[in-house]
């Protein structure tokens, strides 16, 4: 278990499956994550979770409140490249847990962990251009906008722009 000021990052428990099923079936949340929402059974979510946990290029944690260990989402670093030392950040908190500082705390804890344990020097991410709250959080945490895929993500008859961001954990690696 990894502790922050307000949250802990921990392994998934069987009791977390219902939250993960809810997240994976929340259409609005899945669109924000740039996935294509579809019905997810308990078994499909368990398979998704097992694939993440067994992938050597992925780190996956449940984000839980520090006071009572209640799950409020998940955070992951996927596609870790151990030669070039970067990975792609993904975080998802349920709506009722957003705006409370949990995301900020979880990202900071994950950054420290992957830098110390996996020698990751840079984290990259993609976010919908209209997800201004997420972009603002990432910028406050030191992420920089480095590009944009224009009209890249299809959703309900429209194409949305995707903002590309990165943060060097090891500042000696910057140009």
Question: Burial code of 56-94, b = ≥16 C-beta within 10 A, e = fewer?
Answer: eebbbbbbbeeeeeebbbbbbbeebeeeebbbbbbbbbb
Determine contact, residues 49/41, Cβ cutoff 8 Å.
no
* Confidence at residue 37, expressed as pLDDT on a 0 to 100 scale: 76
The angle at the Cα of 149, spanning 34 to 57, to the nearest 5 degrees, equals 55
- In the chain (175 residues long), the average pLDDT of successive 10-residue segments reads 94 94 87 82 92 96 94 97 96 91 96 96 96 95 96 89 94 56
pTM above 0.85, yes or no: yes
Report the CATH number of the 2-124 domain. 3.40.630.30
């Amino acid at each position: 278990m990894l502790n922050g000021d307000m949250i802990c990052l921990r392994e998934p428990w069987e009791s977390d499956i219902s939250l993960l099923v809810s997240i994976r079936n929340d259409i609005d949340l899945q669109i924000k994550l740039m996935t294509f929402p579809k019905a997810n059974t308990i078994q499909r979510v368990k398979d998704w979770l097992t694939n993440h946990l067994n992938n050597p290029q992925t780190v996956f944690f449940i984000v839980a409140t520090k006071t009572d260990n209640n799950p409020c989402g998940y955070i992951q670093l996927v596609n870790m490249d151990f030669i070039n030392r970067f990975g792609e950040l993904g975080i998802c908190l349920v709506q009722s847990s957003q705006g409370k500082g949990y995301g900020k705390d979880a990202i900071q804890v994950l950054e420290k962990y992957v830098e110390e344990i996996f020698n990751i020097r840079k984290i990259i991410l993609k976010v919908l251009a209209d997800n201004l709250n997420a972009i603002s959080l990432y910028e406050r945490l030191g992420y920089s906008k480095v590009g944009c895929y224009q009209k890249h993500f299809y959703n309900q008859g429209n194409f949305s722009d995707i903002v590309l961001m990165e943060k060097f954990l090891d500042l000696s690696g910057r140009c």
